[in-house]
Every structure is written in structure tokens, then in C-alpha cells.
Amino acid sequence: MGVLFQSGALFTDLDVFENVAFPLRVHTELPEEMIRDIVLLKLQAVG
């Protein structure tokens, strides 16, 4: 399930990679290497 905010809900002090990785770090117990791979795949998908 995804979350969509009406106004900007990005952390301005984090870069794009860190903003995408943030919910994975908070809500899962995935290893950092797997989070890295997932984030890179998602970023590649959206260009």
C-alpha cells in the first residue's frame, strides 16, 4: 500500500535516494543492501 500526500511530504534535508529509502527503513527489517537494490530499481523505473 502506498501513501500519497496532497502537499510535499519529502524531507528537504534528504536526497531523492534517502527519501525513497526512508519508509523501507522505518517499516521493514530489510537489510540495507536489499533496501539499496529496491530503491535503485524504483528510481530507475521512474527515470
Q: Are 19 and 10 in contact (CB under 8 A)?
A: yes
Residue 21 buriedness (CB in 10 A; 0-12 / 13-18 / 19+): buried
On whether residue 28 sits in a domain, the answer given is yes
Q: Which range of residues forms the domain containing residue 22?
A: 11-46
Residue 4 located in a structural domain: no
| 31 assigned to some structural domain | yes
Confidence of residue 2 (pLDDT cuts 50, 70, 90): confident
Per the structure, the count of domains in the chain is: 1
pLDDT at 8: 66
Q: Is residue 3 part of a domain?
A: no
Predicted TM-score of the model (pTM): 0.78
Residue 1 lies in a domain: no
